[in-house]
Chains A and B, each alone.
Chain A
Amino acid sequence: MIHLIAAAIKNDIAGVRETSPELWRQIRRYNLPVQLALAAADEAAKAAEDPAKAALFSLAPCQSGSPELHQWTQAAAASGPNGHIGNLRVNPTHTLHAVDNLGLSAFAIMQGNHEYCLGLGGAAGQAWCGLEAVGERLLAGCETEALLMAGDQEGEAGRNGLGIALLFSREPKPYGRTGRFVKVESVERIRLGEMISVQPHAAAGLQAFVAGIHHGGSGRVAYEVAAELGNGMDKITIILEIT
């Protein structure tokens, strides 16, 4: 069993720019999902004993994380199937924006973290795999803390987005300032009879999960992941003990 000890949610990058100039300096070159994920991770990591020693888990955006990628490919497509596109230029940083491990890499550099990491890809429902993997890693006794971070955007324009980070500990510790203890016992899955449609988003499911904890009661809680925030294949339930 692992304990949720901090959560941070960011959806306003302008606020980060104004209130945290040093953080903004470090993250400004990235695209919005990565900026928001890093801002959330930076805040959650403040509750860690040593963020440089935590296991790091990140979720790649489900929506393509690069508006520049869309713009460039539209230009390439406009030239036709045999078009001459050698004159087009792609900013190397924009290539990095398409790389799914960008948030993970940037956060490791910010924290000087050389420890175990796991980047999970942008498939619907990977957030719950991340939660499972955090539990496995901490229960194996390799690290005492683990950080799970995610960022995503609404559509390809990249104007609105959401970043989230959750910090977990192997040791019993209260969740943020609530004074409550949130123990994650297991992630349970039941295979559905047929595939259902989902709304792929790396961060939305974890945001709903945190809201569920805030609004939920105490004792043993079975948090059911909303169908559209799952993987389309399984009914997913997270078993918690909140005291």
Chain B
Amino acid sequence: MSGNSQRVVITGTGAVSALGGTTDELWEGLLAARCGVRCLPRFVTAGLSVTTGGEVDAAPHHQTDRDEVMASLAIEGALSSAALKAEAVGFIWATGLDTFQIGVKGLEYRSAGSCFNALAQKFRGPQRMIATACASGTQAIGEAFRLVKSGRAEAIVAGGSSAMLTPFYLIGFAGLQAIAVDEAGGDPTAACRPFDRQRRGFALGDGAGAVMVETLASAQLRGATPLAEIVGFGMSQDAFDLNRPSDDGVGAELCMRRTLQDAGLVPDDVQAVNAHGTGTFAGDLAEAAALRRIFGEAGVPVSSVKGAIGHAMAAAGALEAIVALKTCATGIVPPTVNLNEPGEGCELDHVIGKPRQVDARAVLSVSFGMGGQNAAIILRRMLD
């Protein structure tokens, strides 16, 4: 167990994704198996080999400060739904990578660090910028959990944002063979197929996700409604390869087992998994292998959001934690969009086609970063 002090809950959320600008739009879109990934005409004009992505309409692509705009929308969502002011809380956030945005004035360099400090100014308390690639959003929430649990802060806004739908990253990730390159006549909404037999990489997505992490005592004192409890956080490193995990997913397994241990739970205590599920060939294989070893062949219901909103990188883990929270609160696991037939080695208890009702007392949400950093958290339904 990580310390033995405060119980930690989530009291507010904000989500900006290709499915809409609110948590409700994200959740309802997932339950309807709607796909926000689409063809982006500017990339067709530019002649790129990848022209699809999960774009956020709330922050148009010609708006060069859209990194800050998306983050601010999600942060404001978390603050307002928790009924807390920024001045009263800390801030642990992942702003992703430096980007170059092309706006009406031409090329503009956007520093992820400057974006973080611009967002952080209004907060008090601990302020940290997390940079562990695709694991960043989950680690931001996990670090906030750790600080709040140990009594170093009473409440922290945690999460991440990402504005990576730019030619550089599309071409670069295509070079890494990680992204779903266009297929002649292919359906752009089916670009990302987590765990599917026909998967061929992820679709990049922009977005932002924020949660208010707070002590239960503070929430009760304010009369705020806890949405779910955070009970465990774990990290590990693959130490294997910069671009891919080992086929057996031992790094991911170690991370998930550490998270279970931190929560004082065993695999049978978990009723659903929000998977990393990017749609890459190697990543999905490794994750499925790790999940089978932990949860057995019967397994638990597994779902990935990336077929619907793309891979939002630094925001991904935070958006997925929000989905896990909704599963805890409602007992509904959304389906994995674009998963029709699991690929060889990807056999799990996938939620396919339509939502599934489960008695979701505890949900595991996992993120595995390119480079080998792995992060996971466990959320528990509020029982008392």
State in angstroms the CA–CA spacing of A64 and B111 once bound together: 7
Q: What would be 29 A-B contacts, judged by CB atoms less than 8 Å apart?
A: A56-B237, A60-B113, A62-B113, A64-B109, A73-B100, A76-B102, A76-B167, A81-B102, A84-B45, A85-B46, A86-B46, A89-B175, A95-B173, A95-B175, A99-B133, A104-B371, A109-B372, A111-B239, A117-B373, A119-B136, A122-B111, A122-B112, A122-B129, A123-B120, A123-B129, A129-B128, A129-B129, A136-B152, A140-B2
Interface on B for A, CB 8 Å cutoff?
2-3, 45-49, 94-95, 97-98, 100, 102, 106-107, 109, 111-114, 116-117, 120-121, 124, 126-133, 136, 139, 143, 146-147, 150, 152, 167-169, 171-173, 175-176, 235-243, 251, 254, 369-373
A79-117 residues at the B interface, CB under 8 angstroms: 81-92, 94-96, 98-102, 104-106, 108-109, 111-117
Q: How many A-B residue pairs have CB under 8 A?
A: 194
* Residues of A in contact, count (CB < 8 Å): 62
Apart from A112-B239, A116-B235, A123-B117: 12 A-B pairs, beta carbons within 8 A = A73-B100, A82-B46, A84-B45, A89-B171, A89-B175, A100-B133, A114-B239, A120-B131, A121-B129, A121-B130, A136-B146, A200-B113
Bound complex: CA A191 to CA B120 (Å): 12
Q: Which residues of A contact B173 (CB under 8 A)?
A: 95
Report B5 CB to chain A, min CB distance, Å: 11
Contact B132 A104 (CB under 8 A): yes
Closest 3 interchain pairs by CB?
Answer: A86-B47, A95-B172, A105-B371
Cβ < 8 Å to B, chain A residues 174-209: 191, 195, 200
In chain A, what residue has the closest Cβ to B139? Answer: A118
Instruction: Find out whether the CB atom of A233 lies under 8 angstroms from the CB atom of B131.
Output: no
- A77 near B: Cβ within 8 Å? yes
Known: A101-B373, A117-B235. A77 touches B113 (CB 8 A): no
Tell whether A84 pairs with B46 under 8 Å between CB atoms, given A122-B111, A122-B113: yes
A interface: dominant SS: loop
Q: A77-B107, A114-B238, A129-B128 are in contact. Are A233 and B121 (CB under 8 A)?
A: yes
Q: Considering the chains assembled together, what is the distance between the CA atoms of A216 and B236 in angstroms?
A: 37
Q: Are A195 and B121 in contact (CB under 8 A)?
A: yes
CB atoms of B132 and A99 under 8 A apart:
no
Contact between A98 and B371 (Cβ–Cβ < 8 Å)?
Answer: no
Question: Using Cβ atoms and an 8 Å threshold, which residues of chain B touch A109?
Answer: 239-242, 372
Taking the nearest CB of chain B, how far is it from the CB of A166, in angstroms? Answer: 18
Residue ID in chain A nearest B101 by CB atoms? A73
